[in-house]
Amino acid sequence: MTLSTSTRASGLVRRRLVAGVAAGFLGMGAALGSGLMATASAAESTTITSVVLGVGANETQRIVSWYSSADTAQKIQLAPTAEIVNGEFPAGAVSFDAVGAANTSTTGFNRHATISNLREKTAYSYRVGAEGSWSPTYAFKTQDFEGDYDFLFFGDPQIGSSGDRLKDQAGWEDTLKVATAANPNAELLVSAGDHVESANDEGQWTSFLAPDQLRQIPLVATIGNHDVGGKSYEQHHFTPNTDRSSAYYNGDQATRSGGDYWFIHKDVLFIDLNSNSYVNPADGSAGGDAAHVAYVTDVINKHGSEAKWKVLVYHHSIYSPASHATDTDNKQRREDFTTAFSNLGVDMVLQGHDHSYTRSYSIKNGQKENPAEKPGSADVFPGPGGVIYVTANSASGSKYYDIKKPDNTGTGIRGNGPDPLDPNKYWYNSVQNQEHVRSYVKVQVRGDKLVLANVRSGTCAAPNAAVEKGLSCVNTPDGQPVGSIVDNVTVHPFHGDGQAIQVNVPSPAPGEFGWTIDGYNGLVDLGTAQERNGTFFEATGKINPILVSDSRRSLAPWSISANVGDFSDAEKKFSGSYLGWTPYVLDGGAGAEAGAPILSSYDDQGKGLSVSSGLGAAAQGHPRGGAKLGADLDLKIPDSIAKGSYRTTLTITALSS
């Protein structure tokens, strides 16, 4: 009589686990997976439009906003893309309930929901709506939640401002296509505001939201002066950590959009302001620029230590070179903002509004920090309080503003006089550019620097609505093609007189748990059974030892168990319950403890090894390491079993959380 062992898979069998991350995702499904269900008749009548993927409070979140034709209970459904089969979401897909209200700027309803507990370096698919009326399926991918990353900054698309909405849409779509193709791992799309020409024109909003990239990469939405005059902006963009008190609205809060918000993405604290509110609100409450400064101060005091860089975003450029350079409100913002931003350690301010590109000198307290800083320097070393202000050019080509000449108002905080180092431009700008071609700004966030580039996303050729309608164009495609650089600068942090030391610590290896046969997995031959007391046969032996390895950081419990089927010889059989064993630990490690002995059913009328029985196990919190497990086998069978050479298979199962 012989006994053989086999495993469920040849060689080393491992289940790889990432401590905390996989469990968190599953827990999310348990906590949030129920959702609200609309009735079938209501769901079938619901049309979903205007889906946009927004930024969340941190890397583990996304906020999705959309429009719905009916007031039904809706949700986001989410699953790893690898689990989508033939377009079908798995049974384990998680759901996030949506909230919203009736639209005030158009018919229908708005909805939004927050996706949370995302895992890093994972491709996800999602859809919104309800059973029977889902949107198409969209996808996004998370990156590493620590370390370097890139984001893209876009100036005023202002769809509709050329007078031809579809031409403006074409330019906007092309810029996003060009920018994301050149930067496929960009993690954020940051807006400078003025998404549309007319705040409540839903046709313009449809064109703004047309690019597929706005459902694939989170958008950091900023409100411009053309967005503020109605509620469409808020209905299309729900933002995290938003203060919607009256101080952050321009005029009647009930009929206009507004709010200030903040979030952290890896090493950057972003604070986004509604710069339309710069004087006291109509209701007489304290507000305007003073309220923005108080908001920024509060956020930085509470969260500034959580990030290496502080970046502000708002619409109205205070250091622009064109039509708005001399606006009274922008001069006022220089007085209200610049000293506060310097004192708070802001590194960079991203702005729009003037439809041209600028990069300021390092500005401290409203003045050029270092009079010797050269125009167009490729490396800038701001001292304490030095801030770089950037204005983005048009991303759609719908409208460009030409650069104006400096005046005689000097170089004070409110002045627009010439740069002593380059009298053709304003004193505060290191670089000014307007070619009447579309562009975008790429920002590389690195541990020891910010690298900024203004990149051409078009030439004089279409799609370029303003030029197509007769505006001149000075770009030369041969020398300045799509993807060429207008301006490039590296901003280095201030380290004082000391030497900063930095080390990048990678994510710890998650470790692994597994087992294998020790050495050659040969036949376990119990030899010829011996008759005992003239009443039964007995055979003994030992299993091939099992090596267990556990290097996981989670120190999660594990167990190894096994069972056998019936012994058979052609048509002859007897039950595996007659086989028992006594486990033991040959080499202690990984917290291994031997399983309990199992008697042959001949002795106790039990089930023996015909049911799964523990060979060894370790409890939660055990040390990492390896162990070797063995077991003595004891087969007892009645003497009525027919003569033969019988075999069975020992099936080994490893379990771990």
Q: Which of 39-43, 380-384, 515-519 has the highest mean pLDDT?
A: 380-384
Structure tokens at 484: 């060429």
Predicted confidence at residue 7, as pLDDT, reads 32
Q: Residue 26: which pLDDT band, with cuts at 50, 70 and 90?
A: very low
Predicted confidence at residue 504, as pLDDT, reads 63
Please name the residues in contact with 441: beta carbons below 8 A apart, sequence gap of 6 or more.
152, 153, 154, 155, 350, 357, 390, 392, 452, 453, 454, 455
Residue 425 has pLDDT above 90, yes or no: yes
Instruction: Give the residues across from 654 on adjacent strands.
Output: 560
Predicted confidence at residue 283, as pLDDT, reads 56
Residue 574 has pLDDT above 60, yes or no: yes
Which whole-number Å values give the CA distances from 540 to 204, 567, 611, 632, in the listed order?
82, 15, 19, 7
- Mean of pLDDT over the chain: 89
Q: What is the pTM of this model?
A: 0.75
What distance in Å separates the CA atoms of residue 120 and residue 180, rounded to the nearest whole number?
20
Predicted confidence at residue 582, as pLDDT, reads 97
Q: Could you tell me if 566 and 648 are in contact, meaning their C-beta atoms sit under 8 angstroms apart?
A: yes
Tens digit of each residue's pLDDT (9 = 90 or more) over 167-188: 999 999 999 999 999 999 999 9
What distance in Å separates the CA atoms of residue 20 and residue 3, rounded to the nearest whole number?
41
Tens digit of each residue's pLDDT (9 = 90 or more) over 496-548: 776 666 666 666 667 788 888 887 777 888 999 999 988 999 999 999 999 99
Mean predicted confidence (pLDDT) in 434-463: 96
Residue 8 has pLDDT above 80, yes or no: no
Per mean pLDDT, which range of 196-205, 280-289, 528-537, 639-648 is the poorest? 280-289
Residue 14 has pLDDT above 80, yes or no: no
User: What proportion of the chain, given as a percentage, has pLDDT over 70?
Assistant: 90
Q: Could you tell me if 329 and 365 are in contact, meaning their C-beta atoms sit under 8 angstroms apart?
A: no
Give buried/exposed letters for 400-419 (b at 16+ CB in 10 A, else e).
Answer: bbebbebeeeebebebbbbb
Predicted confidence at residue 597, as pLDDT, reads 97
Q: Which of 17-21, 28-32, 259-263, 446-450 has the highest mean pLDDT?
A: 259-263
Element (H, E) at 54: strand 48-55
328-343 and 288-303 helices, crossing angle to 10°: 20
Predicted confidence at residue 33, as pLDDT, reads 27
Predicted confidence at residue 158, as pLDDT, reads 98
Residue 18 has pLDDT above 80, yes or no: no
| Cis geometry, peptide bond prior to residue 80 (ω within 30 degrees of 0) | no
Structure tokens at 538: 């007995």
Which whole-number Å values give the CA distances from 536 to 394, 493, 602, 607, 609, in the listed order?
92, 84, 9, 17, 18
What distance in Å separates the CA atoms of residue 137 and residue 190, rounded to the nearest whole number?
23
Q: Could you tell me if 361 and 368 are in contact, meaning their C-beta atoms sit under 8 angstroms apart?
A: yes
Q: Residue 616: which pLDDT band, with cuts at 50, 70 and 90?
A: very high
Residue 163 has pLDDT above 70, yes or no: yes
Name the nearest CA neighbour of 105 among 331, 256, 264.
Answer: 256
Q: Residue 27: which pLDDT band, with cuts at 50, 70 and 90?
A: very low
Name the nearest CA neighbour of 451 among 366, 348, 352, 305.
Answer: 348
Amino acid at site 201: D
Q: Residue 12, Cβ neighbours under 10 Å: how many? A: 13
Residue 3 has pLDDT above 80, yes or no: no
**Cα angle vertex 254, ends 249, 255, to 5°?**
85
Predicted confidence at residue 524, as pLDDT, reads 87
Mean predicted confidence (pLDDT) in 185-199: 98
What distance in Å separates the CA atoms of residue 110 and residue 101, rounded to the nearest whole number?
6
Q: Which domains does the chain have, with CATH numbers?
A: 146-458+465-491 (3.60.21.10), 513-656 (2.60.40)
Predicted confidence at residue 155, as pLDDT, reads 98
- DSSP letter for each residue of 565-612: --EEETTEEE-GGGEEEEEEEEE--TT-EEPPPB--HHHHSS-GGGS-
Q: Could you tell me if 157 and 208 are in contact, meaning their C-beta atoms sit under 8 angstroms apart?
A: yes
What distance in Å separates the CA atoms of residue 620 and residue 523, rounded to the nearest whole number?
34
Amino acid at site 526: L
Q: Could you tell me if 163 and 469 are in contact, meaning their C-beta atoms sit under 8 angstroms apart?
A: yes
Tens digit of each residue's pLDDT (9 = 90 or more) over 89-107: 999 899 999 999 999 989 9
Predicted confidence at residue 120, as pLDDT, reads 94
Q: Residue 335: which pLDDT band, with cuts at 50, 70 and 90?
A: very high
User: What proportion of the chain, given as a percentage, has pLDDT over 90?
Assistant: 79
The residue among 169 and 15 whose pLDDT is bigger is 169
- DSSP letter for each residue of 291-326: HHHHHHHHHHHHHGGG-SEEEEEEEE-SS-SSTTTT
Predicted confidence at residue 288, as pLDDT, reads 87
Mean predicted confidence (pLDDT) in 127-154: 96
Mean predicted confidence (pLDDT) in 369-380: 97
Tens digit of each residue's pLDDT (9 = 90 or more) over 243-299: 999 899 988 899 999 999 999 999 999 999 999 998 765 555 546 899 999 999 999
What's the chain's length in residues?
657
Name the nearest CA neighbour of 217 among 141, 121, 127.
Answer: 141
What distance in Å separates the CA atoms of residue 9 and residue 653, rounded to the nearest whole number?
10
Residue 472 burial (10 A CB sphere; 0-12, 13-18, 19+): exposed
Structure tokens at 585: 């630990």
Name the nearest CA neighbour of 16 among 412, 511, 468.
Answer: 511
